[in-house]
Amino acid sequence: MKLSRTVRLGIGAIAVALAATACGGDEQRSALESAEAGDLTIGIKFDQPGLGLRNPDGTFSGFDVEVAKYVAGQLGVTEENVTFKEAPSAQRETLIQNGEVDYIVATYSITDARKEKVDFAGPYLVTGQSLLVRADNTDITGPESLNGGKRLCSVAGSTPAQNVKDKYAQDVQLQEFDTYSACVEALRNGAVDALTTDAIILAGYAAQSPGEFKVVGEPFTTENYGIGLAKGDDESRARINDAIQAMIDSGAWEAAFQSTVGGSGLPVPEKPTVDRY
């Protein structure tokens, strides 16, 4: 069958477009290239009070937000040229690998498994895992007390729930939701008995609902929060490490912690040592 000239031209245009996509599909701007172009897209949490929270008026607040903005400033990008994108726990590596964000500051613990997929600058904060329960709960005092079929909530793609199940409570009923705010609501209405994640995150939720929840037990892991970025983007990682160090040395790091998480009653942690691996 003979094709018309219009159809032939259309097929040719599609072929050219597909070829261009195949050639350029693997290209991804580094964080520094984005900064040099004058803009950055940064992944944060939208539902973590004190850390990464989208406020009703559309603004963003929290310690992670302050770290993200400080680093952007050190890279030469002003706040008005920063776009924040929600980075749920289970999607963080994908967002980085797909080039949807330049870097992520979202309570992102540095682990060996994650370092196989992305790189990290930092850490910019060291915290530890704990438990959040309703204020009137008296039988959950730490991870060892979760045995007996207690219902434990955490977020899909995060490590805390599995830590408890593997190391402490063998018959705990693990329930995983997409967000911590969904876990908090489940805890509020009695659908679960406890929520587990890092103490700094739990303190933010407790502070948001005074008298309703409490953090119990001493932290039982060590979590190093890093800034996630594309694998092999060594130059950007070095510059972001420099920015984190500058924030610590200048006093801006402690001031940011006090203004965001300080109201929860959580003491200022020790200043982290930036890892130059």
What is the CA 54 to chain-centroid distance, rounded? 14
- pLDDT score at 277: 62
Could you tell me if 97 and 176 lie in one domain? no
Total structural domains in the chain? 2
**CA contacts within 13 A on the Cβ side of 222:** 5
Q: How confident is the model at residue 165 (pLDDT cuts 50, 70, 90)?
A: confident
Domain end call among 199, 216, 233: 216
Could you tell me if 103 and 135 lie in one domain? no
Q: Give the bridge partners for 215, in sequence order.
A: 132
94: in domain: yes
Phi-psi map region of 218: left, alpha, beta (phi>0 left; psi -120 to 50 alpha): beta
Closest C-alpha among 92, 3, 87, 5 to residue 51: 87
**Residue 245 sits in a domain of what CATH number?**
3.40.190.10
Identify the three-state secondary structure at position 152: strand
pLDDT above 90 (res 28): no
**Residue 167 tokens, joined:** 């190391």
271: in domain: no
- pLDDT above 70 covers a percentage of the chain that reads 90
164: in domain: yes
Could you tell me if 229 and 211 lie in one domain? no
242: in domain: yes
pLDDT for 231-251, tens place per residue? 999 999 999 999 999 999 999
Could you tell me if 122 and 35 lie in one domain? yes
Task: Determine contact, residues 152/173, Cβ cutoff 8 Å.
Answer: yes
71: in domain: yes
DSSP annotation of 264: G
79: in domain: yes
* pLDDT, mean of residues 48-61: 95
Element spanning 235, H or E: helix 234-250
8: in domain: no
Range of the domain at 101: 31-126+224-264
Domain end call among 216, 235, 251: 216
Could you tell me if 40 and 95 lie in one domain? yes
Size (the chain), residues: 277
Could you tell me if 194 and 140 lie in one domain? yes
* pLDDT, mean of residues 36-45: 97
One-letter amino acid identity for 128? G
64: in domain: yes
- pLDDT score at 18: 42
**CA contacts within 13 A on the Cβ side of 27:** 7
Residue entry with tokens 């172009």: 37
SS3 for 90-115 is HHHHHHHHCCCCCEECCCCECCHHHH
CB neighbours (10 Å) of residue 186?
17
Task: Let me know if 208 is exposed, middle or buried by CB neighbors in 10 A (0-12, 13-18, 19+).
Answer: middle
What is the CA 156 to chain-centroid distance, rounded? 13
One-letter amino acid identity for 242? D
Could you tell me if 209 and 231 lie in one domain? no
- pLDDT above 90 covers a percentage of the chain that reads 63
